Amino acid sequence: MPNTISPRVSAIRKSGLLDRSGREQFHHLTEHVRVALQVPVAIISIVDEDRQVFAGHCGLPSPWDSRGETPMTHSFCQHVVEREQPLEVVDANLHELVSTNHAIADLGVRAYLGVPIALPTGELVGALAAIDTVPRVWTEHDRRVLESLALVVEREIAVGVSELKYRRLFEDMQEGYYIAEAVRTDAGEVADIRFEEVNPAFERLVDLSPDAILGQRLGELMPDLNREMLPAFRTVLETGQSLLHVNSEKAGGRWFENRIRPLGGDRIASVFTDVTERKQNEEQQRVLQQEMVHRVKNIMAVISAVVAASLRNAPSLEDAGEIVSARIQAMARAQALITQQGGDTDFAEIVREAIDPHIGDEGKISIEGPSIVISAQQAVGLSLAIYELATNAAKYGALSSIAGRVAIRWTAGPDRTFDFDWIESHGPAVIPPSSAGFGSKLTDRVVPSYFEGMGKTHYLPEGVRYHLQGVTRTNSTDEPSSDG
């Protein structure tokens, strides 16, 4: 009985993709994957009936780089096609699906991220994949970049371009990309770079047309930026190692984050991103944090003065002394949390410490919520939010009246998410503020940034209500960036 070829394999063979092994245009595409994801190996694998053919590859070890294909015993990409979905492998030795695959030993594959690529008619032909030789946890950004590039691969397959100008690869991406060659002095020192290729995003980011860039030196276009970037270029060319560089000076009014990678000889490639907004947010965050510290110190001074006055007029010095001591200790703990850099803390503990100075009659404040571990940075944010809410409640809200009540509740959701509520009731009539002061910025903007979430204060007739939702972290996990 003759062997029946599946419609998918038949479509691949008719497409001519199996005849494109090692084509230069696909090499450029995989080189970009390697630069963008910082991996040693990138491939475009076309999964045939009993083999996978590399329509493009870079970084493969010998002899596979010259062969341009492997048997299925060495293919992770076949599982992308079979499952019709991306495949992420953190450590191949521990992954049930691929732990016996020969690519682990023969090609050095330890971590793998592959996304499907398809013909215009819908048949899956293989995968675009990033490969690392050490275990690696892939990020959502890694996956988005790879999926974006896979769309470009599919578009090029559809139009059947004989030679891919790889700058089309980046038309739908925000990252700029360029390849440049070093310009050296007579003494051999790197003094500049000359642009060989740029993508359309480069033009959008630096506001210079390709005609004004190609063949030109960076020192001619942006002298100040060239002087700043030279040490990074020299380091990459001298060490042969990739480097991440963020401009300390603005370039054309913008800041850029550059991932520079050597290409061999005197050539380099760089993927760069406009991080102006992030830098501006970092500066704003720094100012707000300084203001928070200043505000806390002022509040402590004011409370100490008020408590001291109360001591002088208290009918019972012993009782008043205990209250004063408790309040000062609570404020000291809050200040310690503000300056603390490490140490995970329980959510409930932070709530109780922050509210402790305002607890009076039994039952006036209720606290209810599960144990959740948060980082020191998030503990600072939570403590400041509660202290701000409690201070306002003591001055104007529920804690300023005998009948007033405050309910503090939080719940834990999936993937370390949580919801936190501060609910005031039975207090004086609520008068919404005429304008947003620093307190509102603190609770509604600054504190949510610690949790990569959202915060909102509602001035309801029955009482103030504050809702915070976000994602908890610990010091063993990555903290959100300061522009979060």
DSSP string, 371-405: --EE-HHHHHHHHHHHHHHHHHHHHTSGGGSSS-E
Q: How far apart are CA 395 and CA 440, in angstroms?
A: 16
More confident residue, 466 or 314: 466
322 shares a domain with 257: no
Structural domain of residue 454, as residue ranges?
Answer: 278-471
State pLDDT tens for residues 260-283: 999 888 999 988 888 877 777 877
Q: Residue 184: which of 212, 223, 217 has the closest Cα?
A: 217
312's CB contacts (< 8 A; 6+ apart) are: none
Q: How far apart are CA 131 and CA 301, in angstroms?
A: 57
What share of the chain in percent tops pLDDT 90? 38
CATH code: domain of residue 98: 3.30.450.40
Domain boundary among 274, 301, 331: 274
293 shares a domain with 206: no
42 shares a domain with 23: yes
424 and 401 in contact (C-beta within 8 Å)? no
Q: Give the pLDDT confidence score for residue 165 in this predicted structure.
A: 37
Q: Give the pLDDT confidence score for residue 73 in this predicted structure.
A: 96
Query: Is residue 190 a part of any domain in this protein?
Result: yes
Q: How far apart are CA 106 and CA 102, in angstroms?
A: 6
Q: Give the pLDDT confidence score for residue 361 in this predicted structure.
A: 57
Q: Residue 127: which of 61, 67, 76 has the closest Cα?
A: 76
CATH code: domain of residue 453: 3.30.565.10
Average pLDDT over the chain, rounded to whole? 81
Query: Is residue 482 a part of any domain in this protein?
Result: no
Inform me whether the pLDDT recorded for 170 exceeds 60: no
350 shares a domain with 454: yes
Please calculate the CA angle 162-154-141 and round it to the nearest 5 degrees. 125
> Confidence class of residue 156 from pLDDT cuts 50, 70 and 90?
confident
pTM comes to 0.37
Q: What token pair was written down for 136? A: 């690696």
Query: Per DSSP, what are the bridge partners of residue 88?
Result: 113
Query: Per DSSP, what are the bridge partners of residue 178?
Result: 198, 270
446 shares a domain with 332: yes
| DSSP one-letter string for 49-90 | SSEEEEEEEESPPTTHHHH-EEEGGG-SHHHHHHHTS-EEES
199 shares a domain with 143: no
Query: Is residue 477 a part of any domain in this protein?
Result: no
Q: How far apart are CA 31 and CA 39, in angstroms?
A: 10
Average pLDDT, integer, range 303-315: 52
Query: Is residue 408 a part of any domain in this protein?
Result: yes
50 shares a domain with 67: yes
Domain count, the chain: 3
Q: How far apart are CA 226 and CA 74, in angstroms?
A: 45
Q: Give the pLDDT confidence score for residue 61 in this predicted structure.
A: 92
Average pLDDT, integer, range 326-343: 54
146 shares a domain with 133: yes
Query: Is residue 310 a part of any domain in this protein?
Result: yes
State pLDDT tens for residues 114-134: 999 998 888 898 999 999 999
Average pLDDT, integer, range 277-301: 69
